Structure 1
């Protein structure tokens, strides 16, 4: 079953109470409130002056097993973590299956500036803010010294 999570970039994740409750329920009982099973990739988001960064844990996955798209103002990561066939687990906390992470991008993100790298099981995505919306310093001139 496809596990999908959606977040808004640039807004506090605490505003997404349903997702937080789902995460807590999943940690306590091993499945989500919706009963969805499948892989899950935790993410972190942080902002710098001119960029947004998104990091997702995708342990053991290769870039060929992931797909990253921008569509209708959303950053969409899909992938599938396959299980080993014919294996009987004594204990298993790992999740397998298809997953989809959707991040709603604010208007000030430049969708043409996306850069994605994968290293040591972490997919890092960097998005530039639109140049015309980035902070800039304005020189204040002294009118008494004008010529």
Structure 2
């Protein structure tokens, strides 16, 4: 094994890396990351199936029900939101993602869109979707978040 004794600091050995790290951590993160990428997010979702219904859980921390739109058309469920992103120059790091999002799910033919409802509690949007018992009109429908 070959070792050397070096009294130089990491900054002296790798000046380019030190300069880059210094630029990143001594400015706002938006200067280090493309602002558009920082502005949009893809919320995580969980889908659960029960005998009589489906439930979709969407993680939307920081969102209010007024920010979110839920609609279904031609068996495609769309959840979207738009929230103004805070532009505070005193932050050194911003990882909260609020901006704009849109998630869509193709619903199976077995659902009854007239039964869809939505609730928002503790940053989780829950969509309840009943299964169809008989042939029902599955036309466009806007869902109000309760």
Q: Shorter-chain TM-score category? A: 0.5 to 0.7
Structure number with greater Rg is: 2
Where does residue 79 of structure 2 map in the other structure? 77
Where does residue 119 of structure 1 map in the other structure? 121
User: What secondary structure does 1:131 align onto?
Assistant: coil
Where does residue 107 of structure 1 map in the other structure? 109
Are the equivalent residues in 2 in contact too, given 1:39–1:81 (CA < 8 A)?
Answer: no
CA distance in 2 between counterparts of 1:86 and 1:36 reads 14
Where does residue 50 of structure 1 map in the other structure? 52
CA distance in 2 between counterparts of 1:88 and 1:104 reads 42
Gaps of 5+ in 1: 1-29, 134-147
Are the equivalent residues in 2 in contact too, given 1:39–1:80 (CA < 8 A)?
Answer: no
CA distance in 2 between counterparts of 1:62 and 1:37 reads 17
- 53 and 113 in structure 1: CA distance in 2 versus 1, 3 angstrom threshold: same
Where does residue 128 of structure 1 map in the other structure? 130
CA distance in 2 between counterparts of 1:127 and 1:79 reads 20
- 82 and 36 in structure 1: CA distance in 2 versus 1, 3 angstrom threshold: closer
**Cα RMSD over matched residues?**
2.2
What is the deviation of 1:91? Answer: 1.4
Could you list the structure 1 runs, at least 4 aligned residues long, displaced by more than 4 angstroms after superposition. none
CA distance in 2 between counterparts of 1:38 and 1:95 reads 7
Gaps of 5+ in 2: 1-32, 136-146
What is the deviation of 1:36? Answer: 8.7
Q: How many residues align?
A: 101
Where does residue 98 of structure 1 map in the other structure? 100
TM-score normalised by length of structure 1: 0.62
TM-score normalised by length of structure 2: 0.62
